[in-house]
Chain A
């Protein structure tokens, strides 16, 4: 399973980065390959490459705001949740998405 995602919260200071780390750890725990971009107060970091997006089985957006470059995910399966959902139970979130998208 290959996942790409973006994390972005309202102030771009804390939740963005906590969500990214939690999702990364959750995905790695499940043995999935994941790349997570952050769009925070200091701009975009770990920007997703077109290759990473192309190869991904789905896109996980943990966002509380409108993000930049959403058109990059056109034609992909995109799941959007608030950052807090990702922070609360990242592994369960990913498992649920994989099941609901019929990817398991």
Chain B
């Protein structure tokens, strides 16, 4: 695929510390806060409230619930130190504004530096976005049992065009 590079490693962006398979929060704000806490603990977000504010602001600009049980809130923010993603899976459905009107159980929170000179990291996020357009990938995402499985799934190459 022309937009992709071959020499990148998803492992440099997604680590086990940025994944939770059992979100405790029961609403949208709670989920965003819980995933932001992972990013803060991992040193990727320097200003917790500043980042949450930017994510909520983006939520106001249009649905981030893609449908099929997945939402991709995101913040391009001065509060982000390293461009990365945090992933949360929930055992209970969480209400969210979605394209199919259904609640969600998979949340991928994109944290992007306000001025990111590291094109590679943006490329990795782009790859995640491309994977999310694949119904098979979404199906597999809902079957994830372990963090290793999830990282392996994200390392999968998107289907060619």
Q: B66 at interface (Cβ–Cβ under 8 A)? A: yes
What 0/1 pattern do residues 1 to 27 of A give for CB contact below 8 A with B? 000000000110111111001101100
Are B58 and A18 in contact (CB-based, < 8 A)?
A: no
**Residues of chain B within 8 A of A59, CB atoms compared:** none
Complex Cα gap A46–B1 (Å): 10
B96 to chain A, nearest CB (A): 13
Interface-central residue, B125, B126, B158, by most chain A CB under 10 Å? B126
Contact residue among B66, B119, B128 (Cβ-Cβ distance under 8 Å from A87): B66
Interface string of A38-59 (1 = CB under 8 A from B): 1011100110000000000000
Is the Cβ of B61 less than 8 Å from the Cβ of A17?
no
A25 and B76 contact, CB distance less than 8 A: no
**What residues make up the interface of B, taking CB atoms closer than 8 Å to A?**
2-3, 58, 61-63, 66-67, 72, 74, 76, 99-100, 110, 112, 116, 119, 122-123, 125-126, 128-130, 132-134, 158, 161
Contact B110 A84, beta carbon cutoff 8 Å: no
Count of residues in A whose CB is under 8 Å from the partner chain: 24
**A17 touching B126, Cβ below 8 Å:** yes
Q: Chain B residue with minimal CB distance to A23? A: B133
Question: Are B76 and A13 in contact, with the CB atoms below 8 A?
Answer: yes
- A13 CB contacts on chain B under 8 angstroms: 74, 76, 110, 112, 122, 125-126, 129
Let me know if A88 is at the binding interface, CB within 8 A.
yes
How many angstroms between the C-alpha atoms of A99 and B67 in the bound complex?
A: 26
A18 to B110, CA, bound (A): 14
Q: Given A11-B74, A41-B76, A88-B99, are A17 and B63 also a contact pair (CB < 8 Å)?
A: no
